[in-house]
């Protein structure tokens, strides 16, 4: 049964974003294209596109959210994760951590619609940011039931980004957090993107939706330190159950990140972490810092504040290394540099 949350908890988020002023760029603003009369319907078009894919496949929400994370953590939020490799360059999307990325077709479809309506105006980077917000909103019960704030959005997205011209697989490998990292590495990585320990705990809860392949965590089950051992941060009985599903060389089997709840965005993830059932070592690492540990335990059975926090942290992440003005471009095709 899906969890229900009172809509009154979230209605103040729009106002909070207006007061949240630690901006990395003066170019970004809520409804950038509408305010400047460049493309007033951009958010409606992106939302309509995401919704059409969601109705056919509710699991599309996690891939769209993940695209935004993987975009922002490398070159910044510049749409570089969408660029195809060429004969002379291996792009981000072909880096090993990105080989399981999905949702590119949704972004391409939204871009196609926007180019027909407002050619050469809306960046692919902004489409990724908007699609991530729409996806996670649709995965949340109160939004799906039409009880949330304006246009059923979980939070408002600042737009005005321009697209990057650099996309490197090696940069992706250097910058993307690993699912095997501990708290020190995670803290350092997030800090380099302007995000603190609270943001780490909040954004890690994105793992409450979506799936993972066995090979993303099999090392924890069979050879954690190279001695045929198991990750001690994983509950032994839970690990034993996972070994019945995943073999050491299994590259195809897919498991839900949160069993039985992989398409609903809620706080169930935190409960799993407290029970030592986080699928990734990085999930369990949240218990190794007082700040992240306190956040996890305080939201195990209490969702108050979490959705608000998630919106704030997503906006902060979306400000990372934004291109503006004469920098970057507005790609005609999200997969190809102009």
Is 207 annotated as ligand-binding?
yes
Is 159 annotated as ligand-binding?
no
Is 266 annotated as ligand-binding?
yes
> Which residue in the block uniquely carries the two structure tokens 């790609």?
331
Largest Cα–Cα distance in the chain?
61
Is 57 annotated as ligand-binding?
no
Among the residues of the chain, which ranges form H helices?
A: 13-19, 32-35, 42-56, 61-72, 104-117, 124-138, 141-144, 169-175, 183-191, 197-204, 218-222, 236-243, 268-274, 281-284, 290-298, 306-317
Give, in order, the Cα–Cα distances in Å from 292 to each of 50, 83, 115, 240, 269: 32, 34, 42, 27, 13
Is 78 annotated as ligand-binding?
yes
Is 156 annotated as ligand-binding?
no
Determine which one of 68, 70, 281, 299 is catalytic: 70
Is 177 annotated as ligand-binding?
yes
Is 208 annotated as ligand-binding?
yes
Is 189 annotated as ligand-binding?
no
Backbone angles phi, psi at 151, to 5 degrees: 55, 20
Residue 70 falls in the annotated catalytic set? yes
The three-point CA angle 17-15-118 to 5° equals: 65
Residues 336 and 84 sit within 8 Å (Cβ to Cβ)? yes
Is 225 annotated as ligand-binding?
no
Q: Give the C-alpha separation, 140 to 40, whole Å.
A: 26
End-to-end CA distance of the chain: 47
**Annotated binding site for heme b: which residue ranges?**
207
Q: Which residues line the annotated binding site for substrate?
A: 177
Q: Which residues are annotated as a binding site for Ca(2+)?
A: 71, 74, 76, 78, 80, 92, 208, 266
Going by the annotation, the residues of the binding site are: 71, 74, 76, 78, 80, 92, 177, 207-208, 266
- Residues serving a catalytic function are 70
């Amino acid at each position: 049964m899906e969890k229900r949350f009172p809509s009154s908890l979230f209605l103040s988020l729009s106002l909070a974003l207006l007061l949240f002023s630690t901006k990395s760029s003066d170019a970004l603003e809520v409804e950038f294209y509408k305010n400047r009369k460049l493309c007033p319907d951009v958010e409606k078009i992106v939302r309509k596109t995401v919704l059409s894919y969601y109705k056919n496949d509710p699991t599309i929400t996690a891939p769209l959210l993940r695209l935004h994370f993987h975009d922002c953590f490398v070159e910044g939020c510049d749409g570089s994760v969408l660029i195809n490799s060429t004969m002379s360059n291996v792009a981000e999307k072909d880096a090993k951590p990105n080989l399981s990325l999905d949702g590119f077709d949704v972004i391409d479809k939204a871009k196609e619609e926007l180019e027909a309506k407002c050619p050469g105006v809306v960046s692919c980077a902004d489409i990724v940011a908007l699609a991530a917000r729409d996806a996670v909103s649709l995965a949340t019960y109160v939004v799906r039931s039409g009880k949330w704030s304006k246009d059923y959005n979980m939070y408002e997205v600042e737009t005005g980004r321009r697209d990057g011209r650099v996309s490197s697989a090696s940069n992706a490998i250097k910058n993307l957090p690993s699912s095997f990292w501990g708290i020190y590495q995670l803290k350092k990585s997030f800090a380099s993107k302007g995000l603190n320990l609270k943001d780490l705990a909040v954004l890690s809860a994105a793992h409450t939706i979506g799936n993972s392949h066995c090979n993303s965590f099999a090392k924890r089950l069979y050879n954690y330190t190279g001695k045929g051992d198991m990750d001690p941060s994983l509950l032994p009985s839970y690990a034993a159950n996972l070994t019945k599903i995943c073999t050491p060389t299994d590259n195809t089997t897919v498991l839900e990140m949160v069993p039985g709840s992989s398409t609903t965005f809620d706080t169930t993830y935190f409960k799993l972490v407290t029970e030592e059932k986080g699928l990734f070592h990085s999930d369990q690492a949240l218990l190794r810092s007082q700040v992240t540990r306190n956040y996890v335990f305080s939201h195990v059975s209490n969702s108050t504040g979490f959705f608000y926090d998630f919106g704030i942290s997503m906006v902060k992440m979306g400000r990372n290394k934004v291109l503006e003005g004469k920098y970057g471009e507005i790609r005609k095709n999200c997969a190809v540099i102009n």
